[in-house]
Amino acid sequence: MITLGFNYSQMHDSSACIARDGELLFAVAEERISRIKHDAGFPHNAIRACLDFAKVRADQLDFVCQGWPVPGKSIATDLKCFLRGQYPLTYLNVLNTARTYASMAHQNGGFKPFTNHFGATKAQFRFVDHHLAHAISAYSYGGFDKAAVVVMDGRGAWEASSIWYGHDGRLDHVLTIPWPNSLGLFYAQFTQYLGFVPNSDEWKVMGLAPYGSPGVNLGEFISIDQGMYRVNAQLLFQRHNGISAIAKRLGPERTPESEIDESFKNVAFAVQDACEDAMLALVKLATEKTDSRNVCLAGGVALNSKANGKIQASCMVDGIFVQPAASDDGVALGAVFAPYLDSGGRLPMRPMRHAYLGPEFSDAEIEKVLRTYKLRAFKLEDVAATTADLLADGKIIGWFQGRMEFGPRALGHRSILADPRDPEMNAKVNNAVKFREWWRPFAPSMLREVAGEYLEHACDSPFMILTNPVRPEKRDIIPSVTHVDGSARPQTVEKDISPLYWNLINEFGKRTGVPVLMNTSFNLRGEAIVNTPTDAIRTFFSSGMDALVIGSYLVEK
């Protein structure tokens, strides 16, 4: 059976993936191909890439599954919220709701553009409820037979958070917390208040939080009552004479790109703190309801690596899996397996050991591009050794190898790498390459074998989605990847999964005694991570990177 899954909620992060007989073959977000960050358009490029990779035509597919329910479900929710006063009945909100519904209905949820782009197919079209798709993306790939599955995001058609019990390849629905009682909404509204882009820049708030101090009371906006979080959406949305309820209580909103004063740092601290408490409460509830100490998380809120680290370190759980594509791009990974639940069937259980699910380019293809641009490039005998020499020499390297990662993190295939021992490296990479905010931390990739030496509560963490405390004696050894609060968001690298990347870190370790690299995504600020050799070359020459190692080739400036 060949199934295709895609996300086209029209909100953000459209994506597609393809599976054959329950084996996931390929996955890519539309933004990587269209180059529009968080692209919410119909993912026709991503679907085309899936079909090409699997060498199948659309008419050979058995199922085409979209991770969003039939048009009409969300408008019904919105209308109910308008009538109950949970969502402000403004011209703009009504217009948005009506426009989204009209667009979804006109396109039959995406199946019409599918047929337009790819022709007629015998495939069965399938709408999959959004949180069910998230839940499958956590449970099927989590590696636990029995698990509490928690989905937390901005919104589904009607869901904000949900709890499921995964067992024996099946998912039992336990409870749903309806929209707009939404942690994602809470975080997004404050992200906007702090002068960042909601549903995109939540990372920035999380990174800023440790610079703030306790003291800001957000109790009116979010509370925990009898073990359950409660978000006051009405107040979060409220505006009088153009002034939001948040601004009325906490002072004027921050102007984007302006200086960040202490009061905004303190708000970021309070937002993160409240979100962590709410997530911990929800996970506790899930473990109690399912009587399981293994937890699988998905939904955009589960990208909060700081909170995930706290959940992992808590005494509530024995095992944790966070779907690395926790946001809506990952919905495709769940939707693609949904047909297996038909007639009481079981989901394919495919523990996810890596996220290298995207396009790949051979040396011959890379060489052709280098020649097209008339670039001087050297073919390396030993890619890992030469790159390790450059890194140990303080160079900032663009590293383009193998299949692109699926999900928001670069995990050593589309990465910018540097020496984590240099306390100035954070500023150097920020100023020369990423052009991003000074407070956003960089993350380490380290050999799996040394994780316990560097981190407290170390565990296999291949996806940079859990935060751990760095051991106090190691903080000065890797200062540029240790955040101000002493934490890091590590990637543990396994030899059998990423042999070249493992070798590179190992070679760097041989030269420096520190088998750890600073790893950040290969993109410029505000752009999607590079996908093709052309993207990589363009980004390399638009930045202050010193060298580009692309396949077996070295390009220097």
Q: Which of 12, 38, 44, 354 is catalytic?
A: 12
Residue 329 lies near Fe ion (rule: CB under 5 A): no
Residue 328 lies near Fe ion (rule: CB under 5 A): yes
How much of the chain is in helix, strand and coil states, percent to nearest 5? 40, 20, 40
- Closer residue to Fe ion (CB): 328 or 546: 328
CB of 484 to Fe ion, least distance (A): 30
- Closer residue to Fe ion (CB): 399 or 406: 406
Coil vs helix vs strand at 149:
strand
CB of 92 to Fe ion, least distance (A): 22
Catalytic annotation on 457?
Answer: no
The closest residue (CB) to Fe ion is 153
Beta strands per DSSP E along 349-449: 377-379, 397-400, 414-418, 443-447
Residue 153 lies near Fe ion (rule: CB under 5 A): yes
Stretch that binds Fe ion, among 216-224, 288-296, 324-332, 345-353 (CB under 5 A): 324-332
Cα–Cα distance between 214 and 523 in angstroms, integer?
A: 34
Structure tokens at 47: 């679907």
Neighbours of 175 (CB within 10 A): 12
- Closer residue to Fe ion (CB): 331 or 391: 331
Query: DSSP secondary-structure letter at 253?
Result: P
- Closer residue to Fe ion (CB): 123 or 160: 160
Nearest one of 503, 500, 522 to 511, comparing CA atoms:
503
Coil vs helix vs strand at 328:
helix
Stretch that binds Fe ion, among 147-155, 161-169, 237-245, 444-452 (CB under 5 A): 147-155
CB of 155 to Fe ion, least distance (A): 7
Spatial strand order of the sheet with 124-127 comes to 23-29, 15-20, 2-7, 63-66, 124-127
Residues touching Fe ion: how many (CB under 5 A)? 2
Stretch that binds Fe ion, among 169-177, 325-333, 479-487, 516-524 (CB under 5 A): 325-333
Cα–Cα distance between 161 and 84 in angstroms, integer?
A: 20
Nearest one of 58, 171, 173, 210 to 124, comparing CA atoms:
58
Cα–Cα distance between 391 and 510 in angstroms, integer?
A: 12
CB of 199 to Fe ion, least distance (A): 10
At residue 101's C-alpha, the angle toward residues 96 and 104, to 5°, is 125
Coil vs helix vs strand at 150:
strand
CB of 130 to Fe ion, least distance (A): 6
Coil vs helix vs strand at 160:
strand
CB of 299 to Fe ion, least distance (A): 5
Contact 67, 12 (CB under 8 A): no
- Closer residue to Fe ion (CB): 142 or 154: 154
40: amino acid identity, one letter: A
CB of 513 to Fe ion, least distance (A): 43
Cα–Cα distance between 335 and 108 in angstroms, integer?
A: 17
- Closer residue to Fe ion (CB): 101 or 442: 101
- Closer residue to Fe ion (CB): 129 or 535: 129
CB of 507 to Fe ion, least distance (A): 40
- Closer residue to Fe ion (CB): 222 or 325: 325
Whole-Å CA distances, 545 to 234, 427, 438: 47, 13, 18
Contact 294, 237 (CB under 8 A): no
Q: How far apart are the first and last CA of the chain?
A: 49
Nearest one of 406, 466, 541, 530 to 27, comparing CA atoms:
406
Contact 359, 532 (CB under 8 A): yes
- Largest interatomic CA distance in the chain: 68
- Closer residue to Fe ion (CB): 126 or 483: 126
CB of 330 to Fe ion, least distance (A): 8
Stretch that binds Fe ion, among 254-262, 323-331, 425-433, 458-466 (CB under 5 A): 323-331
Stretch that binds Fe ion, among 150-158, 315-323, 398-406, 454-462 (CB under 5 A): 150-158
Stretch that binds Fe ion, among 103-111, 148-156, 354-362, 381-389 (CB under 5 A): 148-156
Chain residues binding Fe ion by CB under 5 A are 153, 328
Active site residues: 12
